Amino acid sequence: MNKKFKYKIEEYAEKAIEQAKKIGEPVTCRCGETPGGTKHIENFNDNIRSYFIYLAVKEKGYPARHIQTRDNMDPFRKLPSGFFDLNKKWHTSSLKLIKEYNKYVGTPLYFIPDPLGCCENYAEHFRKIYESECDLMGLKDTQYFSTEDLYRTGKFNPYLKKIFEKAELAREIDLNIENTKPKDYIPV
Q: Are residues 39 and 85 in the same domain?
A: yes
C-beta neighbour count of 28 within 10 angstroms? 15
Distance (Å, rounded) from C-alpha 110 to C-alpha 121?
6
Q: Are residues 92 and 180 in the same domain?
A: no
Q: Are residues 108 and 132 in the same domain?
A: yes
Q: Are residues 148 and 168 in the same domain?
A: no
pLDDT bracket for residue 2 (50, 70, 90): confident
Distance (Å, rounded) from C-alpha 126 to C-alpha 116?
11
> pLDDT tens across 82-125, in order?
999 999 999 999 999 999 999 999 999 999 999 999 999 999 99
pTM for this one? 0.82
Q: Are residues 186 and 121 in the same domain?
A: no
Q: Are residues 148 and 162 in the same domain?
A: no
Q: Are residues 81 and 162 in the same domain?
A: no
Q: Which domain range does residue 182 map to? A: 158-188
> What's the number of domains the chain is made of?
2
Q: Are residues 120 and 183 in the same domain?
A: no
